[in-house]
Amino acid sequence: MSNAEWRQEQEFIDLLHARLAELRAGAEEAVSDALSMEGRNFQARLERDVLVAERSGLLAAFDAGERGLCFGRLKFRDGRDHHIGRIGIRRDDAERTPLVIDWRADVARPFYLATGHTPMGLRRRRHITTERGQVTALHDEILDLADTVRTGHENTDADAVLLAALDSARTGRMHDIVQTIQAEQDRIIRAPHHGVLVVEGGPGTGKTVVALHRAAYLLYAQRELLARRAVLVLGPNPAFLGYIGEVLPALGETGVLLATLGELYPGVTATGTDTPEAAEAKGRATMADALARFVRDRQVLPDPAIVIDHDDGDLVLDADIASDALWRARETGLPHNLARPHFAFKVIDGLTAQLTDRIGADPYGGPNLLGTDDIAQLGKAIATSPEVHAAIDELWPALTPERLVADFLTDPVHVSDADAAAIRRTGGEWTPADVPLLDEAAELLGEDDSAARAAAEGARLERIEYAQGVLDLSYGSRTQEFEDRDDDESEVLAAHNLIDAERLADRNEEADHRSAAERAAADRTWAFGHIIVDEAQELSPMAWRLLMRRSPTRSMTLVGDPAQTAEPGGCGSWSSILAPYVEDRWEHTRLGVNYRTPAEIMAVAAEVARTADPAFEPPSSVRATGVRPWARHTADLPGAVADAVARESGTEGRIAVIAQRGHHDALAAALPDASAGRSPDLTSPVVLLDPRQAKGLEFDTVIVAEPVEFGTSDLYVALTRATQRLGVVHTGALPGALAGLGEQQVAAVAPER
């Protein structure tokens, strides 16, 4: 019976791969045919590009779905029988019968939620493990106790598949969990698509991978909306983005922008580093007011009056003219650069009135002798005067966000003396904490795109004129038929041709064929369909101002753990983050099961967390490994770490050494094969990280160096990165919370060079 079941599933997997090969071949042929087409006109080129993009997307989905093409089977009491996989595939028949159901479809939910107590109509659930198209394991769970059929693949341990996945060696890349999504995770993944959802969870609870699967689910359930507006996934650092980068493509989803905060201002690469004090100061909500006041400081009155050379005598731009213009410009409520033309017009009007009064005054006290046309000519001459424009620039200059923020950081004002000292700098690279300031400055300044819009409208009118010429040639004979008709008929014909000309012009305008994610990355004002924020508790108030501008609908999934807040400027509590934007209109859910960190390691980490919060309760670990964490005292930190790495290198998986940045040069010299730097290669057997870089990552073995130098939150994070083994190397005393670690007495092992 067992072999028959195995053969049946293998035959189905073979059929499925054959069907996938057919679909892939069809998509490849369509792309090849489209690329070979000659685009004789714009419509042909557009149709070709759309076809290539669509079929290329299908190819990406097919490639993603091949690994784990089918991983489950559901047999219902009513006779329904469905295979579950990464993507949905149908037979090539008239009914388009499903071969395998997409894991995100509603019919697949029992695979993740059904229990013996609530079977959801299931008779049995089967987990299918495959490798390179070959069935390697079957695992059956009986959910209907009246079912007496046995296949030989029943297993009383319902968590066997999950535990096998948890015990497997890390690869340096996060994998999807479509085969092992747990009930509490599934409820979050499929939560209704509206508002702000906060997912809180301690280390190892899977909050990040759940959020990524939620993105995949939303793209499936709300395809039309989110494909057009894109989804943003915001991560804490580049290493983290590299770690999670394969999850969504593996689920067949590529319409997602993965970014760090430092990448959310197009044209700026924020690779600089702030001191903790500077990052905290820049992140305060008060910075928004400080920048607004700094902008107003650039709107000044002349002191003394500005004298402007003019052919008809000097013009005097005094405080009266300037203050009236300034008041009128500010009254518009427009951003600085958009209000500037209003200021300029009022200045020009004031100077024109001054000149008119002087040269047109009636010596006998009568009305001004200049006519309307004369005054208009004077105004035109003043408006085109370079000297007048220079004076306007002095009083109300056109500003760029980069110039404004650079000037502000050079001479910080409207902030406390301590904050000014922390953020003051001249030149240097932009830092991630600068990006929200740049974004705020861009909002305060606005962009005067009137010239660009005028140019675009002029180009459009030219296209319409050209299109009208084409139509006139096409409809020449028809137009002749209407020449003798009455005026109403002629007007209708002209309107008909004009409408057609506009449509023809618009159709022949070059379209933007970039994906929504690509366009979003280049557009500071882009409004995303949904935003997912990882380590959300770390973001500053200024960072939240930036993100909320990107999400006017407030459709967001925020994941994090206040207990892991490490950034000095982090908001920490969810209410303090969200109250300014949505008040109390947000949902909160918590993941309470630790799938990553073994119980032995979690017990040690929990003692660290309790030094800051005595009432702290860690997430419950689903497994224990029987391997106790160890500590080793040494006088030679690099040598002892190298010995520990060499000893652990005989085990399967990845090793991370986590130390404060000041030790990295010495440790890197002792670990020449380790990957290090701002964006280390996480697939390397050994990786050297600082505590902040380690956030969200996981490794089979973690060695923490000199833990006494870590803050409580950083140490808690570092200790909980391990899935199997944890060691601590120290030269001085251990932090009190780690005093219970047993000292490891080992002979030195020379590391391989």
Query: What is the rounded average pLDDT of the residues 630-659?
Result: 92
Burial class (CB in 10 A: 0-12, 13-18, 19+), 213: buried
pLDDT of 750 > 50? The answer is no
**Binding site annotation covers 204?**
yes
Neighbours of 12 (CB within 10 A): 17
Residue 369 near residue 405 (C-beta atoms within 8 A): no
Q: Has 271 been labeled as part of a binding site?
A: no
156 assigned to a ligand binding site: no
Spatial CB neighbours of 120, under 8 Å, sequence gap ≥ 6: 109, 110, 113, 114
C-alpha span between 656 and 604 (Å, rounded): 18
Q: Which of 118-127, 286-295, 508-517, 590-599 ranks highest by mean pLDDT?
A: 286-295
The secondary structure of 679-728, three-state, reads CCCCCCCEEEECCCCCCCCCEEEEEEECHHHCCHHHHHHHHCCEEEEEEE
Strands (E), 304-422: 306-308, 315-317
Task: Tell me how far apart the alpha carbons of residues 405 and 55 are, in angstroms, rounded to a whole number.
Answer: 45
Annotated binding residue 203: yes
- Alpha-helical segments (H) within 78-119: 110-113
CA dist., res. 55 & res. 59, Å (int): 6
Cβ contacts of residue 659 below 8 Å, gap of 6+? 641, 667, 688, 689, 690, 704, 705, 706
- Rounded to whole angstroms, the Cα distance separating 321 from 736 reads 70
* Amino acid residing at 689: L
| 398 Rama class: left (phi>0) / alpha (psi -120 to 50) / beta | beta
Cα–Cα distance for residue pair 76/180, rounded to 1 Å: 20
Backbone angles phi, psi at 78, to 5 degrees: -85, 10
Q: In terms of Cα–Cα distance, which of 381, 378, 357 is closest to 369?
A: 357
Was domain 599-743 assigned CATH 3.40.50.300?
yes
Residue range 303-330: average pLDDT? 93
Q: Could you check whether 190-263+526-591 and 599-743 share the same CATH topology?
A: yes
Closest by CA position to 226, among listed 514, 552, 529:
529
Among residues 202, 199, 197, the alpha carbon closest in space to that of 184 is found at 199
Mean pLDDT value of segment 281-291: 96
Which tokens is 542 given?
A: 């200024």
- Burial of 468 (C-beta count, 10 Å sphere; 0-12/13-18/19+): middle
Which is more confident, 51 or 565?
565
Confidence at residue 753, expressed as pLDDT on a 0 to 100 scale: 34
Q: Which residues contact 488 (CB under 8 A, 6 or more apart)?
A: none
Question: What pLDDT is attached to residue 481?
Answer: 45
Q: Is the pLDDT of residue 56 over 60?
A: no
**Residue-level length of the chain:** 753
Percent of residues, the chain, with pLDDT higher than 70? 82
Q: Tens of pLDDT along 478-535?
A: 444 444 444 544 443 343 344 455 555 555 555 556 778 888 999 999 999 999 999 9
Class of domain 190-263+526-591: alpha beta
What is the edge-to-edge ordering of all strands in the sheet holding 256-260? 256-260, 231-235, 530-533, 556-560, 196-201, 586-591
Q: Given pLDDT bands bounded at 50, 70 and 90, which one contains residue 211?
A: very high
Tens-digit pLDDT profile for residues 218-250: 988 888 888 788 899 999 888 888 888 888 877
Instruction: Please indicate if the annotation marks 208 as binding a ligand.
Output: yes
* CA gap 223, 219 in Å, rounded: 5
Cα 484 from Cα 467, distance rounded (Å)? 25
126/149 Cα distance (integer angstroms): 14
DSSP label at 675? B
Lowest model confidence (mean pLDDT) among 293-302, 344-353, 483-492: 483-492
pLDDT of residue 479: 46
Q: CA–CA distance from 174 to each of 187, 201, 696 (Å)? A: 21, 18, 10
Q: What is the Cα Rg of the chain in Å?
A: 34
The DSSP code sequence of 613-671 is: -TT--PPEES---S---EEEE-S-HHHHHHHHHHHHTTSSS-EEEE--GGGHHHHHHH-
Q: Which of 83, 23, 81 has its CA nearest to residue 57?
A: 23
Residue 606 clears pLDDT 50, i.e. is over it: yes
**575 Cβ neighbours under 8 A, 6+ residues apart:** 584
DSSP category for residue 231 = E
d(CA 489, CA 468): 19
**Domain range annotation of the chain:** 1-179, 190-263+526-591, 599-743
